[in-house]
Amino acid sequence: MILPWVAALAAAQPASAQVLAQAVPVKYDLTVTPGEILTREIVLSNQGNETVVVRLRYSDWQVSAEGAVSLAAAGSTPNSLAGHVRFEPQSISLPPGEEGRVLLTMSLPADGPATRYGVVLSEVRPAVFPRNRLGPRAIAELGTTIYLSRIPADRIRAEFTALVAAPLGGDSMAVSARVRNAGERHLYVTGEMALADSSGVTVRSAALGTGVVLPGTERAFTWTCAPALAPGRYRLTATLDTGEAELLVGERWIQWPLAPTTPKLAERLQH
């Protein structure tokens, strides 16, 4: 999963003032031995036509049960990598077309959570802001997500906990498949959902984007659709690939149109 750290923090400027930069890779996903010291690089490139200054910082992050990703203060989450990730240099100036390399030094302690995660953020801004330019300043923030785990990737444990359908108004509905990570290592979920009529003919289907489920958490993967169906019974199927040997499959029958649900549930399923 590529987390949405690449975000413009200001409105677009004229071409001469745009911040065009890249941080590679966007993710390190590593299995480590406790106490082992790992080194990796982040390559920063200035793809614009003005010199930029890049300042790096570490942040925790978290994912809500509905899949919303948010930053958190360093050291504020139970699985934080704060204090276990260092980087040099912490600031770098890049002329147009140039690259810079940042050295990461990482380790995982023997005690505490078996999997820890965080993100190294690279704030990119022009080295000089022209005084005569009006409007907000062009700033971008790029991220490299880091997972360190002492649990091998083949020892993940995913559980399919629910498949829920709720009306959203008109001919729309939200179908939510919930997956619980019962293991100590993060896992990734992708897959598809399908809607079939009573004779077994698929009338609607959609692929799900890949998402991460953190250790000990549950997450919803939601498909919003406007099927415009004839009244009757339909079978919903969610087929999920978690990287384990067998797929997770959830199934339920619904009666269309759906009965009204509580506003709180309908609102939650839209996120």
pLDDT, tens digit only, all 271 positions of the chain:
445 443 332 222 333 347 899 999 999 999 999 989 999 999 999 999 999 999 999 999 999 999 999 999 999 999 999 999 999 999 999 999 999 999 999 999 999 999 999 999 999 999 987 666 555 567 899 999 999 999 999 999 999 999 999 999 878 999 999 999 999 999 999 999 999 999 999 999 999 999 999 999 999 999 999 888 999 999 999 999 999 999 999 999 999 999 886 544 444 544 4
**Domains of the chain (ranges plus CATH)?**
7-150 (2.60.40.10), 154-269 (2.60.40.2360)
pLDDT of residue 246: 97
Q: 140-178 burial, b if ≥16 CB within 10 A, otherwise e? A: bbbbbbbbbbbbeeeebebebeebbbbbbeeeebbbbbb
3-state class (DSSP) for residue 211:
strand
pLDDT of residue 7: 36
List the one residue out of 164, 52, 71, 161 whose CA is nearest residue 119.
Answer: 71
Task: Show the CA angle centred on residue 156, arms to residues 250 and 177, nearest 5°.
Answer: 25
* Alpha carbon distance 5, 121 (integer Å): 8
List the one residue out of 269, 40, 75 whose CA is nearest residue 175.
Answer: 269
* Alpha carbon distance 109, 148 (integer Å): 10
Q: What is the DSSP track for 154-188?
A: GG--EEEEEEEEEEEETTEEEEEEEEEE-SSS-EE
pLDDT of residue 241: 99
Element at 214 (helix H, strand E)? none
Element at 50 (helix H, strand E)? none
* Alpha carbon distance 255, 165 (integer Å): 10
49, 140, 225, 271 from 42: Cα distances, Å = 21, 16, 39, 32
